Structure 1
Amino acid sequence: MRDVVIVGCGGGGPVVATELARWGLDVLVLEAGPRFADPRRDWSRLENDANNPLTGYFRAGPGDRSKPAWSRDLPEDMFVWQVAGVGGTTLHYYGNCPRAARGVFAGYDGPDAGEYDTTHRFPFTMAQLRPYYRWVEATLPVQTAAMGTKEERFLRAAAATGLPVCDTKEPTEASFRPQENCILQPGGTAGLAPDPSFPQASGCTFCGHCLQGCSAPRGAPRNLTAKRSTDNSYVPMMLTADVWAPGGRPAELVTGATVVRVHTEGRDAATRATGVTYEDAGGARHRVDAKVVVLAAGAVETPRLWLDSGLPNPNGWVGRGLTDHHLDWVHGIFDDYTGSSKGASSSARIDFPGYGGIENTGLPPAFEAFSATYSDHGTHGVYTNGSPAGDAGADAVGRLVGAQLLESVSNIDRVLNCLVITDDDVEAENRVQLSPAMPHDPKGTPPRITVKHRQRSARTRRNREFLARKAVELLRAAGARKVYRADWPPLLLHIHSSMRMGHDPSDSVLDEWSESRFVTGLFVADNSALPNSLGGANPTLTTQALATRAAERIMTRYFGGDPWVRNGTPTVSTDPRITDAVLARNL
């Protein structure tokens, strides 16, 4: 019997494991994908080698790339971009760590309160989550992003459009700022040599390859690698809890472990989680009994596993309410140098509370071409798909081909990109369910993912058009010679809310502590637990804050922990020792 078993080692699972391991619990973490033990050996900087959804080392599939990726039933034109393995999708994310907008929390009464999805707010206030934000921000750590040429161009253009500088982590007016990200600041020779080595170089080396995985600087220990994906931050801590935490116990990690069933006992309101069964890389099955089960497999796999295990779903909301930021892409072509491919991939942002935001995004050439040719609008100048999106004032809208595409990617450092990230509404028909058509694969029944792209709520569509127009305005202010809008189909890069917590039991799966309303002792600690789309903020920081909060709840409710102190170290409270306790982990 284990104390806690955690399914998934991506953005949220290692957070729960770290917190519980430092309190001395017996924690087992099961990850279906691989562990990249030596990134310098296992990774390249080749875009297709890394991110091909069928064969790349960053894909939703087993570690053995000769085996097929996991099946997914996609009835619509969409691209689901997730990564399996230790670190999960944080392996290729940009490290952006903004807090959620204040307006998405209970109790918010600001002048823009009515601009948000008021039906699906957090079931607690921003003040109640703020200590957990501070804890994660100190742990990773989260810092103001390093600036380069593309960021300077973006921020100067934002000022030229009349927007003010934001000087807070929780903006309440339209404003611009550097990103708050979890990428260590460059130091020493970082950025001054093609492949700088540790310890002469530290932090971000400005290589521009965030999407292919961070292993810089060369020779740095894993916990000092620049980008703080969980394989570089929380995973080393969960595996060494006995070293840095008095009374701590290291978590156990098993990779290539595909969980095929969550077990329960009892019925109706007395249903309780009792453990899981997983299949190892050799095909053998193992049952693990545990006092508490935590699902952290992601916003697609967590509801799929729940449904495939036959767990209770009395209100029908397991898998429903998926939000994805209704992303879009606007990019400008310049006659001079922008440095788009250099440095951390996204280090500047504009927030429009109640609408969402715009992020500057630098891409390598193949993904720049993908972004310019991924369109719901059809091919510019050839045909349209009848998309309701307009041009937002751009010179063209739709998929670029021929000379226009060549112009867009021929000099990657004369481009400036804007990623449009909306605050989209929770809508019941956007969902994850079991496929009624596809045969079982080694994980069980494949998931069907449905996003009603063209039938979004009026507010979601309003937000996307508003932000696309603002992106065009910004690029023109930056000096772009031409501006293009892609009008993307669903690109499920930020996926949330498919197992949402909420204040209303009729349309939520989890309570305010991330525990299932239907199965006691069963928690969710990934993006699926988010109650909404956070006002357009990138999701990982908030997911990790919620995961920390869930870990504290597990400890205090199921293992008799003191809510203030355990084994001589403070929990995530307003205890003044918080900074010292967190910094001690990273020594």
Structure 2
Amino acid sequence: MRDVIVIGAGGGGPVVAKELAQRGLDVLLLEAGARNADSEQAWTHFENDSNNPITGTKRYGPGDRDKQFWARELPKPAQIINVAGVGGTTQMYFGNSPRAMPGAFAGYNGDDKNLYDRAYEFPFTYEELKPYYEWVEATLPVQTAAMGTSEQTFFNGCEHLGMNVQVTRDITGDSYRPQQNAVLQPGGNAGLTTDTIALEYPQASGCTFCGHCLQGCYQPRLAPRNLKARRSTDNSYVPMALTADLWAANGRAVTMVTDAYVTQVHYENINGVDQATGVTWRDVNTGETVTEQASVVVMSAGCIENPRLWLNSDLPNPNDWVGRGLTDHAFDIVVGVFPFYTGGAKGVGSSARADFPTRGCIEPTTMGPSFLSSTLMFSDSGIRGQYDNGRGVFGEWDGETGRVVGKDLKNILDNINNTLTMLIITDDDVEPENRVEISASRNDDHGAIARVDMEKRQRSARTLENREFLANKAASILRAAGATEVLRVDTVPILLHVQSSMRMGSDASNSVLDENAESRFVKRLYVADNSALANAIGGPNPTLTTQALATRTAEKIYQTYFGGSAWVESESPVCSIDDVVTNAVIQRGL
């Protein structure tokens, strides 16, 4: 009998596991994918080898790439960017760690409060979450991003438009700033040379500016796993969880089982109350099934898999909100072509940002040629300059929106370091018809597969207006920075920043979780990943908010079911980069 079973070792699960194990609880962490213990041997910077959704190392599927990937049902075109394995999709994230917009929370009284999705706000205030932000920011750590030429180009454009610089981590108005990201600052030779030997640890530390964040961070070479530059959970919280007995006198190391695909969450009616009692998982290599009991179960399998697992487990769903309310930040891409070097394919994935409360945000983004070319092809607006399928629109960019092909595409890729790619991240309203279900006709070894219903998909008028505003603003920044040509893609849905499919809320009629992220329908069952977010958090990248919320959820579990006391307000994180070096690296060789 375990104290806690955590399902999923992605962005949120390891946070809960580490915090509870550090306080002496017996925690089992289950991950459907594999663990690449030696990322230097397992990963390469070849984009297709890494990012191919069917065969790549960053696909959603078993670690053995000769085996079939795990399918989802998509009735209409969309791209799901979802990674299995320890670290989950943080294996290929940029480490961007902004806080949410305060207007996404209850109690917000700014002049613009009615421009947010007030019907689906968080059931507590932004001020209540701030200590948990600070806890995660100190633990990872989150630091000001290292700057390069592309960031300076972006800042020049923002400055020429008369925008303000944001000087705090709290987003207070339309502004631009360096990213706060979970990437270690470059040290030694990092960022100063391309000599591979000189960039090995300890001659180099932190970010080496390789430009391959999407392929998984294994830089600098020869560094211990938990001193790799980007603080994806496989490089940060997981090593901490596996050595939790070193952090505190009563700590216990987490037990982690990989290749363990959970197929059922069990529950019983005990004294008139439905309560979670354990899980069954399937070994993806042998097919063997294992059942284990626990006092508390935490679902952290992601926005698509959590609803699938819930529905396949026949857990109660009386208000029919399991899987509903999926938000995805309504991405778009705007690319500027410059007559000078911008370093558009160099450095950290994204080291700068511009925030627009009630609208969303814009991020200059580093992309290699393969990923950029595929991104430029994912359009809902036909082929730019060839035909218009009715969606193509004019704006501050050149010509109509659409797929970039032929000479335009060749010119961009031939001169990729004379370009700047802007990612549009839109605040997306919660819509009940945007949902994850289970397929009525397709099963795999783990039950009915997930169906992401794109046929009934809805975008609110506010979401659509926000997206157009941000696309035009991005084009204006690029023009002001010196771009001679600006192209807009009008991308198909890219399901990367997905949130809210198991949303928490104050209204029991349209939420799955209460204010503590505990299920309203089954006690002792919690959710701790992006799917628990009440809304699209105003548009910023969701991982930091998910990890802050997961820390708060761990604290609530500890208080509610294990007689513990709150710690975030009264303590400081007991781990730092120095502690990681002296404890986890030297004593455990992680």
**What is the TM-score normalised by the length of structure 1?**
0.96
Query: What secondary structure does 1:448 align onto?
Result: strand
Query: 2:15 corresponds to which letter in structure 1?
Result: V
Q: 1:41 is matched by which residue type in structure 2? A: Q
Question: Aligned partners of 1:499 and 1:249: how far apart in 2?
Answer: 30
What does residue 487 of structure 2 align with? 484
Q: Any stretches of 5+ residues in structure 1 without a counterpart?
A: 564-570
Establish whether residue 465 from structure 1 lines up as the match of residue 459 from structure 2: no
Name the SS of the counterpart of 2:336 in structure 1.
Answer: strand
The 1-side partners of 2:28 and 2:164 are apart by 48
Q: Displacement of 1:387 after TM fit?
A: 2.0
Is the aligned partner of 1:107 residue 2:107?
yes
- Write the distance in 2 (CA, Å) between the matches of 1:454 and 1:426: 11
What's 2:227 paired with? Answer: 224
Residue identity in the other structure for 1:497:
S
Deviations 1:207-264 (CA, angstroms, capped at 9, x unpaired)? 0000001111111111111000000100000000111221100000000001111000
Q: What CA distance in whole angstroms lies between the structure 2 residues aligned with 1:550 and 1:102?
A: 19
> Equivalent residues in 2 for 1:259-278 (5 A)?
259-266=262-269, 270-278=273-281
What is the alpha-carbon distance in structure 1 between the residues aligned to residue 270 and residue 441 of structure 2?
30
Cα distance 1:549–1:397, how it changes in 2: closer, same or farther (>3 A)?
same
Three-state SS of the structure 2 residue aligned to 1:433 is: strand
SS in 1 for 2:294: strand
Partner of 2:501: 498
The residue correspondences of 1:54-65 to structure 2 (distance < 5 A) are 54-65=54-65
Instruction: Write the letter of the residue equivalent to 1:463.
Output: N
Q: How much has 1:36 moved relative to structure 2?
A: 0.5
Could you give the per-residue CA deviations for residues 519-558 of structure 1, whole angstroms, max 9, x where no partner exists? 0000001100000001001000000011111111111111
The one-letter code of the counterpart of 1:572 is: V
Instruction: Establish whether residue 28 from structure 1 lines up as the match of residue 42 from structure 2.
Output: no
In structure 2, the residue matched to 1:578 is 572
Q: Which residue of 2 aligns with 1:568?
A: none
**Aligned mate of 2:370, from 350, 366, 370:** 366
**What secondary structure does 2:49 align onto?**
helix
Partner of 2:289: 285
The residue number in structure 2 matching 1:7 is: 7
Structure 2: how far apart are the matches of 1:346 and 1:245?
Answer: 35
CA distance in 2: counterparts of 1:287 and 1:114, whole angstroms: 48
Deviation (angstroms), 1:307: 0.6
Distance in 2 (CA, whole Å) between partners of 1:453 and 1:378 is 22
Is 1:67 aligned to 2:70, yes or no? no
Distance 2:227 2:445 in 1: 36
Q: Which residue of 2 aligns with 1:434?
A: 438
Residue matched to 2:130: 130
CA contact (8 A) 1:396 1:483 kept: no
Indicate whether 1:184 and 2:178 are aligned. Answer: no
Distance 1:547 1:285 in 2: 28
CA distance in 1 between counterparts of 2:163 and 2:250 reads 51
Q: Which one of the candidate residues 399, 404, 407 is aligned to 2:403?
A: 399
- In structure 2, what is the equivalent of residue 323 of structure 1? 327
Q: Which residue identity is paired with 2:428?
A: D
Counterpart Cα distance in 1 of 2:30 and 2:314: 20
CA deviation string 1:302-350 (max 9, x = no partner): 1110011000100000000000000000001111100011110101000
Helix, strand or coil for the counterpart of 1:332?
A: strand
8 Å CA contact 2:264–2:312 kept in 1: the answer is yes
State the 1:191 CA deviation: 1.8
Q: Aligned equivalents of 1:435 and 1:268: distance in 2?
A: 34
AA at the equivalent of 1:72: R
C-alpha distance in 2, partners of 1:207/1:81? Answer: 22
- How many residues were matched structurally? 577
In the TM superposition, residue 450 of structure 1 has moved relative to its aligned partner by 2.0
Cα drift, residue 392 of structure 1: 4.5
The question of 1:91 aligning with 2:91 is answered: yes
Structure 1 residue 385: deviation in Å?
2.4
CA contact (8 A) 1:244 1:584 kept: no
Alignment of 1:504-515 (within 5 A): 504-515=507-518
Question: What SS does structure 2 have at the residue aligned with 1:542?
Answer: helix
1:138 and 1:583 in contact (8 A); partners too:
no
Alignment partner, residue 44 of structure 1: 44
Change over 3 Å in CA distance of 1:385–1:369 after alignment to 2: same
Q: Is residue 2:193 matched to residue 1:197?
A: no
Which residue is 2:586 aligned to?
A: none
SS at match of 1:132: helix
One-letter amino acid of the structure 2 residue matched with residue 66 of structure 1: D
Residue identity matched to 2:201: F
Alpha-carbon distance in structure 1 between the residues aligned to 2:319 and 2:527: 17
Structure 1 residues 87 and 580: CA distance shift in structure 2, 3 A: closer
Change over 3 Å in CA distance of 1:454–1:9 after alignment to 2: closer
The question of whether the paired residues in 1 share the 8 Å contact of 2:11 and 2:547 is answered with yes
CA distance in 1, matches of 2:500, 2:546: 11
- Cα distance in 1 for partners of 2:132, 2:454 equals 31
8 Å CA contact 1:75–1:450 kept in 2: the answer is: yes
Partner of 2:156, secondary structure, is helix
Deviations 1:478-497 (A, max 9, x none): 11111000000100010100
C-alpha deviation, 1:67, in angstroms: 0.7
Considering only aligned residues, what root-mean-square deviation do their CA atoms show, in Å? 1.4
**Which residue of structure 2 lines up, in the alignment, with residue 567 of structure 1?**
none
Q: Note if 1:412 corresponds to 2:408.
A: no
Q: Which residue of 2 aligns with 1:566?
A: none
* Counterpart for residue 312 of structure 1: 316
Q: Contact conserved, 1:429 with 1:451, CA < 8 A, in 2?
A: no
Distance 1:449 1:390, change over 3 A: farther
Percentage identity across paired residues of the two chains:
56
Distance in 2 (alpha carbons) for counterparts of 1:234 and 1:55: 27
Conserved in 2, the CA contact under 8 Å of 1:269 and 1:519?
Answer: no
Deviation sequence 1:399-454 (CA, Å, 0-9, x none): 0111111111112101101100011100011110001232x112211111024697
Structure 1 435/224 Cα, relative in aligned 2: closer, same or farther at 3 Å?
same
What displacement does 1:42 show?
Answer: 0.3
Q: Please tell me whether the aligned partners of residues 34 and 86 of structure 1 are also in contact (alpha carbons under 8 angstroms).
A: yes
Question: CA offsets, 1:179-203, max 9 Å, x none?
Answer: 0100000011112233211111110
Give the Cα–Cα distance (whole angstroms) in 1 for the partners of residues 184 and 437 of structure 2: 39
CA distance in 2, matches of 1:98, 1:199: 29
Q: Aligned partner of 2:418: which letter?
A: R
SS of equivalent to 2:355: strand
**Contact 1:237/1:585, CA 8 A, preserved across alignment:** no
Contact 2:210 2:347 in 1 (8 A): yes
Relative distance call for 1:579 and 1:301 in structure 2 (3 A) is closer
The 3-state SS of whatever aligns with 1:358 is strand
Distance in 2 separating the partners of 1:114 and 1:359: 25
CA distance in 2 between counterparts of 1:274 and 1:547 reads 21
2:117 matched residue in structure 1: 117
SS state at 2:257 partner: strand
CA distance in 2, matches of 1:140, 1:562: 23
Q: 2:429 aligns with which of 413, 425, 432?
A: 425
Does the CA-based 8 Å contact 2:2-2:28 persist in structure 1? Answer: yes
For structure 2, the 5+ residue unaligned runs are 582-590
CA 481–16 in structure 1, closer or farther in 2 if over 3 Å, else same: same
Q: Which amino acid aligns with 1:104?
A: A
Contact 1:141 1:182 survives alignment (8 Å): yes
Task: Report if the CA contact (8 A) 2:392-2:400 is conserved.
Answer: no
SS in 2 for 1:586: helix
> Residue in 1 aligned with 2:342?
338
* Structure 1 match to 2:588: none
**Matching residue of 2:556:** 553
Show the counterpart of 2:217: 214
